[in-house]
Amino acid sequence: MNSSDEVRKAKKKVKSKKEFYQHLMAFVIVNFFLFALNMVTSPFTWWFHFPLLGWSVGLAFHYVEVFGVPGFDILSHEWEDRELDKELRRMKDEERLQKPKKLSGRTNTEELELKELRKNYDESELV
């Protein structure tokens, strides 16, 4: 991977982190406002937790998408990069094994003429 790809990837990662933090700030501000509105309009009937819970689920999914599962390496960008590299290596190995090799202009199916090896034994000595 060349440096321009790495810079592009790093910018994309920073942008996704920035978007998550913006999402988190909106979550905190809006839910604080909903809590205050709930306390002013009907302090004995709590309804603010319904939008809070729904939005919390969405925020949790956004977190996992950006940072991966906490405590595990699954679903993180680093895990995805490693898996992509492994898959590319596996595909290259399969391709290399399926292609017939050419040795000095000959294919593997051609027979080679080999010179007779010199015998280092006397056939009369064999049992």
Q: pTM for the complete prediction?
A: 0.59
The secondary element (H helix, E strand) that includes residue 77 is helix 77-98
Per-residue pLDDT of the chain (127 residues; tens, 9 = 90+): 567 888 888 899 899 999 999 999 999 999 999 999 999 999 999 999 999 999 999 999 999 988 888 777 776 777 778 888 899 898 888 888 887 666 566 566 667 788 888 777 777 777 7
Contact in structure between 77 and 68 (CB atoms under 8 Å): yes
Those residues with Cβ within 8 angstroms of residue 30's Cβ, 6 or more apart along the chain or in another chain: 55
Residues 54-87: tens digit of each pLDDT:
999 999 999 998 888 877 777 677 777 888 889 9
Contact in structure between 17 and 66 (CB atoms under 8 Å): yes
For residues 58 and 69, give the distance between their C-alpha atoms in angstroms, rounded to a whole number: 14
Which residue ranges make up each domain of the chain?
A: 1-67, 72-99
